[in-house]
Amino acid sequence: MSKFVSGILRWSNCCAMLLLGGSLLGLYAPPSVFAAEAERGTSCLSCHEQAVLSFNASFHSKIWKGENDCQACHGSTDQHIGDQSKTTIISFSKNGGRTAEELNKQCLGCHTQSANLALWDMGAHKKNDVACISCHDIHQPRSTVKQPDVCFSCHKDIRSDANKISHHPIIEGKVKCSDCHNTHGTQAKHMLNAENTNQLCYKCHADKRGPNIWEHPPVEENCLICHSPHGSRHESLLVEKVVNLCQDCHDDSSHHGAAYDTSTAFAGSAAVSVKDRFVARACLECHHDIHGSASFRRSLSR
């Protein structure tokens, strides 16, 4: 037998012994290791039965394949078993005594690589010390709460707008908050899912993008100059009544320059006057395509 072949055989024997030794070490690990794992599961279940049972049906439990990982989020339970106060464990309850930063650190331990959380540190929620558990319940198998209701619990002014007579179909479930906002942070203002407001609006309202021969400057600048994004008491989510909105910028000499306000709108005269223009004859009667047009005077006629 050559020296080369004998060397190969010795190397193979060494590898086999190492593998066998490793297997034996795993097989004959101290019983206390497995007993400790079983004891921790029993201890959690005896006091937190509902939490453990609901967690076992949750998405997190499926990812962890049913293993007992309470300590992955709540920290070591060794001290908590003897002293069951919330200070001996990482408690996610409102009166658990932990800051939002401490609680979020537990979540980011696994989710820090998520692309959806790449800009978490830049987001308004992080800067305002909002905890992940303020929106997410990791123990629930499937949330029955609608997304807008979660957001509305803090953003009550948006809830009010979404319930006004003219609104985006948020409460109807056709539009979600996350369709427009990334709640975990973006580089855009208001955590928008686009570079700016107009680019976001164009995702659904592509017909308003143009280009047009006669562009309406406010349309190019910012949709929010004329529209309220969540809801309004005026038609088409406008920030105010059509005539008043137009007169915020337009006071042309070819038209009557007086403001169409309540002092003259319903004066009750048969003569053709400003008040007649206010009722049933607004700017849109002549200027249809207010976002832009191919006709002279930007939007005159169709």
The residue that leads in pLDDT, 50 or 302, is 50
What is the Cα–Cα distance from 31 to 33, expressed in whole angstroms?
Answer: 5
55 three-state secondary structure: helix
Name the least confident of 90-104, 129-143, 156-170, 272-286. Answer: 272-286
Containing 34, the helix (H) or strand (E) segment is helix 31-47
> Is pLDDT of 267 > 70?
no
Give the rounded percent of residues in the chain with a pLDDT score beyond 70.
Answer: 71
> Is pLDDT of 281 > 70?
no
Q: Span 242-265, mean pLDDT?
A: 68
181: which strand partners? Answer: 192
Quote the pLDDT of residue 200: 96
Specify burial of residue 156 (Cβ count, 10 A radius: 0-12, 13-18, 19+).
Answer: exposed
Quote the pLDDT of residue 224: 96
For the stretch 109-145, what's the b/e string if a residue is b when 16 or more beta carbons lie within 10 angstroms of its beta carbon? Answer: eeeeeeeebebbeebebbeeebbbbebeebbeeeeee
Mean pLDDT, rounded, of the chain: 77
Residue 205 CA, chain-centre distance (Å), reads 21
> Is pLDDT of 15 > 80?
no
Residue 260 CA, chain-centre distance (Å), reads 41
> Is pLDDT of 56 > 90?
no
> Is pLDDT of 40 > 50?
no
The residue that leads in pLDDT, 64 or 211, is 211
> Is pLDDT of 12 > 60?
no
**Greatest C-alpha distance within the chain:** 123
Ranked by mean pLDDT, the top range of 135-139, 196-200, 241-245, 282-286 is 196-200
Quote the pLDDT of residue 300: 46
Specify burial of residue 200 (Cβ count, 10 A radius: 0-12, 13-18, 19+).
Answer: buried
Name the least confident of 49-63, 110-124, 249-263, 288-302. Answer: 249-263
